[in-house]
Each structure stands twice: as structure tokens, then as C-alpha cells.
Structure 1
Amino acid sequence: MPQIFVTQQDGRQLTLEVPSGRRLMEALRDGGTTVEGTCGGACSCGSCHVYVDDAWLARLTEVETDEREMIEAIGDVIEVRPTSRLACQIQMSDALDGLTLTIAEAI
């Protein structure tokens, strides 16, 4: 089962095991982080915004139009970086074992 390494907003770090096929947002929401996943994975709220470690960006699926537009929209109220992703749009797989990310500030 893939593991992810998470830095929370307050700097605390934790490791979570995430079954392949599960959305990253669900694992973060259920794993005791500040990620809410308010829209349930519909890519319409931005409450699962994370900063993915640079080394992992190339291993993720490409950012689709809906995700790009949501990230641009939340950029009006919180910091958006080149490594910004919505965790609801990342489906875990064995290839993502070791994924490292930081949870962005809440909107």
C-alpha cells in the first residue's frame, strides 16, 4: 500500500498509507489533516489544495481544465504555487508510493 508524507499547515509531519485507487483527498480528509474535501471530489471548492513536492510533479496526471480553473480561482484568496494541485484530482497508485506534499492554507 503506497505511503504519503504530509506536512501540515502547522509544520507537523505525518505518514499515511493510502490504498491504490483511492483519491488523495479522501486519505487526507480521513487521516486527521485539515483537508476538508467539502465538495466530495467534484473539483469545485478548492478545500483540498496541496503543494506537491517538485520531485513528484512529473509522476502525476496532467492538470485538467477544471482543476486549473479552480486553482486560478482560489489564487484570489490564498497562495498558489507552480506545485499547487487539488488532492481530489489525484488518484493514488503504487507509482505514487512516497509522494511528498504540504497542505496549503485553508480557504
Structure 2
Amino acid sequence: MAKIKYIECDGTEHQVDVPNGLSVMEGAIRYTIPGIDGDCGGACACATCHVYVENGWMEKLAPMEDLERDMLDFAFDVKENSRLSCQIKVDETIDGLVVRTPARQY
């Protein structure tokens, strides 16, 4: 289990324990975190789970694959620290991860 902090675009924080094996998106859906929709259910077929990963965490995550990079083309306001939360798997190595939601999803 990992403690994940989700910060909404307005600054509202939600810190929850997400079980290992789920994705960061699935944790957001399970705990009804606003700003992460996950319309495709985690199939990396949309960009409605776009998040910004806080400084210091990008290098601790598994590298982004080409499909995720391509899907980010459909997200709004993509930045260097953008990821699709459906592609970030939860385990103890990301305990304390902080992600921020964009102002809007596609």
C-alpha cells in the first residue's frame, strides 16, 4: 500500500492509501478524487486521467511508454511532468507520491 496525495487544481488536497497493484487513476476513482475521470477505465485509450507529477517523483516512476506519450497529445496543457495516472502502478516504492490535477480534462 502507498499513501498518494492528490492535489486538485484549486489546491484542495486528498491523501489516501492506495493498495499495491492498482494504478494511481484507480485509486482516484476508488476514493472519488475530483479531476481524474478515467473514462477508458485505464486502457490508455483517452487522456482523462492526466496528472502532473510533483518534482522529485518522475525519476522514481517506471518510464513512459510510447502509447502513453501518444495519448498525452489529447490532454490539455501538457507539461514536462505530465503523466497518465492509469499508467502509474502503485507499490511501496511510490509511497508519498504527489500528483496534481490539471484545470480540465479532455
TM range (shorter): over 0.9
CA distance in 1, matches of 2:53, 2:91: 16
Letter in 2 for 1:3: K
Aligned Cα RMSD in Å? 1.0
- Is 2:38 the counterpart of 1:37? yes
CA distance in 2, matches of 1:71, 1:27: 20
Q: Which runs of 5+ in 1 are unaligned?
A: none
Letter in 1 for 2:44: C
SS at match of 1:47: coil
Q: CA deviation at 1:10?
A: 2.1
SS at match of 2:57: helix
Letter in 1 for 2:96: G
TM-score normalised by structure 2 residue count: 0.92
Aligned structure 1 segments of 4 or more residues deviating by more than 2 angstroms: none
Q: CA deviation at 1:73?
A: 2.9
Alignment length (residue pairs): 104
Q: CA deviation at 1:72?
A: 2.1
Q: Which runs of 5+ in 2 are unaligned?
A: none
CA distance in 2, matches of 1:86, 1:95: 18
Contact 2:46–2:74 (CA under 8 A) maintained in structure 1: no
What's 1:53 paired with? 54
State the Cα deviation string for residues 11-56 of structure 1 (Å, max 9, x = none). 1011010011111111011212121111011111100000001210
Contact 2:4–2:17 (CA under 8 A) maintained in structure 1: yes
What's 2:79 paired with? 81
